[in-house]
């Protein structure tokens, strides 16, 4: 039997998952291998393809971040964010950036005063370096990525490969999750987020990255021009990733994926011709059958607890008062800190310390918007407005990015339920700033409708 490159890559990543499950220290070795591999590729590739290789390398690192974290496979907790920054800087050295992306330089500069406030205000018991690194690595990663991506051009085929690079390590993580908890019914005993079904790691982060994989597989299924037997495999992978995301009992990543898919389908449907519209409608029927089947199977495997979770009920079926599972209190606390310190904020990483001092509870922020204004004051407000509005202004002038709204919403929704604990929202925010070209043979018209309908 002859295997396609896609099949070979999938098999390779299944093997990686099995090997790391059997011998955990291999995770560190694999991290070092891919770091050297992608660094070499970026350095050696010609300037013409530098952007594509940088984004592909970053995408792969973003996709594998949570899997490596759950296996102790990174040298430091924030290593992937640092690597994304390094890869981007390697690309910027040889490829200049748009002058209009300087708005993101301003964004980064607005975050600096918060460091000085933190250094002068933090208690002796706080590890200042770690606090600043934990809270600023994500925002800085976003700023550097946005500077690199702003108005940079990639082809439609290249963005599909970049998304595939995001997907492949998520396949490894999914296989690992099946190996870690082969019998779900033994470990699901309530409606709380479940660490055992999440590989012993944070369910929020696991569900968030699985949501990216769900989105990528859904887009592959709807855009593919292959016959259905070939497309069925992507639909099957969509099913197993969806199942593992659902049984983490973390809703944020799943709901975000659903919104991304709906947004993509709406834009895609409007852009294509009648023949492709008919194909989408037929595919949608099959897709919905898969979705209903996965939901039913997941509910059965969790003894009905999954339905209660999404109905905001506890194990006994009582409706919980707080649908946000405590996040509202965190947001309210952070906005209160902003009101008390409106100009420069309380300093980078200070929210966690202040909450511990005032309430006796040590809890990290789940919301990047409230955290940035609490820690940076009015400078944080201006910084967040840059992030919020710049892509929308860019979109008014450039409508070539078919994935724009899906990427933008992923960033906005994720930072409001999971802050920027992982590199994914920072990197995917950058992707929505790309200019995508659609090459059409024998035609000067590069409108999306001409390309994706072929």
Q: What is the pLDDT of residue 329?
A: 75
**Whole-angstrom Cα distance, residue 45 to residue 42?**
6
Distances from the Cα of 141 to the Cαs of 11, 31, 100, 304, 423, in angstroms? 31, 19, 18, 40, 7
**Where residue 117 falls among pLDDT bands split at 50, 70, 90?**
confident
**Where residue 229 falls among pLDDT bands split at 50, 70, 90?**
confident
Q: What is the pLDDT of residue 1?
A: 46
Six token digits for residue 26:
């291999």
**Whole-angstrom Cα distance, residue 140 to residue 111?**
9
Segment 278-335, tens digit of pLDDT: 999 999 999 999 999 999 999 999 999 999 999 888 887 788 766 656 677 778 888 8
**Whole-angstrom Cα distance, residue 132 to residue 242?**
34
Q: Which residues of 1-80 form beta strands (DSSP E)?
A: none
CA atoms within 13 A on the CB side of 19: 12
Segment 388-442, tens digit of pLDDT: 999 999 999 889 999 999 999 999 999 998 888 899 999 999 999 999 998 755 4
SS3 377: helix
For the chain, give the number of residues. Answer: 454
């Amino acid at each position: 039997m002859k295997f396609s490159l896609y099949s070979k890559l999938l098999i390779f990543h299944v093997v990686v998952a099995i090997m790391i499950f059997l011998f955990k220290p291999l995770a560190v070795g694999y991290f070092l291998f891919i770091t050297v591999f992608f660094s070499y590729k970026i350095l050696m590739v010609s300037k013409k393809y530098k952007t594509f290789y940088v984004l592909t390398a970053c995408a792969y690192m973003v996709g594998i971040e949570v899997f490596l974290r759950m296996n102790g496979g990174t040298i430091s907790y924030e290593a992937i964010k640092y690597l994304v920054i390094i890869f981007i800087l390697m690309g910027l050295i040889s490829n200049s950036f748009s002058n209009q992306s300087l708005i993101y330089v301003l964004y980064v500069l607005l975050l600096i005063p918060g460091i000085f406030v933190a250094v002068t205000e933090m208690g002796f018991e706080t590890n200042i370096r770690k606090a600043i690194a934990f809270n600023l690595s994500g925002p800085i990663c976003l700023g550097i990525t946005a500077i690199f991506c702003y108005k940079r051009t990639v082809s439609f085929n290249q963005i599909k490969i970049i998304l595939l690079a995001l997907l492949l390590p998520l396949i490894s993580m999914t296989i690992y999750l099946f190996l870690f908890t082969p019998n779900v019914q033994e470990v699901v005993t309530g409606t709380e987020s479940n660490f055992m079904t999440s590989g012993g790691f944070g369910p929020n982060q696991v569900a968030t990255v699985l949501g990216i994989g769900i989105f990528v597989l859904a887009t592959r299924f709807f855009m593919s021009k292959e016959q259905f037997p070939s497309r069925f495999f992507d639909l099957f992978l969509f099913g197993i990733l969806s199942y593992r995301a659902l049984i983490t009992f973390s809703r944020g990543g799943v709901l975000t994926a659903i919104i991304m898919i709906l947004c993509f389908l709406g834009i895609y449907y409007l852009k294509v011709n009648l023949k492709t519209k008919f194909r989408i409608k037929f595919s949608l029927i099959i897709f919905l059958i898969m979705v209903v089947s996965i939901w039913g199977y997941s509910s059965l495997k969790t003894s009905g607890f999954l339905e209660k979770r999404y109905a905001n009920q506890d194990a006994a079926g009582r409706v919980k008062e707080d649908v946000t599972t405590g996040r509202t209190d965190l947001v309210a606390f952070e906005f209160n800190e902003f009101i008390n310190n409106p100009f420069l904020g309380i300093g980078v990483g200070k929210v966690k310390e202040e909450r511990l001092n005032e309430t006796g509870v040590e809890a990290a922020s789940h919301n990047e918007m409230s955290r940035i204004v609490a820690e940076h004051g009015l400078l944080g407000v201006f910084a967040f407005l840059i992030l919020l509005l710049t892509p929308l202004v860019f979109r008014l002038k450039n409508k070539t990015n078919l994935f724009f709204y899906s990427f933008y919403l992923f960033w906005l929704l994720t930072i409001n339920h999971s802050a920027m604990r992982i590199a994914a929202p920072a990197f995917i925010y950058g992707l929505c700033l790309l200019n995508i070209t659609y090459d059409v043979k024998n035609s000067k018209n590069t409108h999306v409708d001409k390309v994706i309908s072929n």
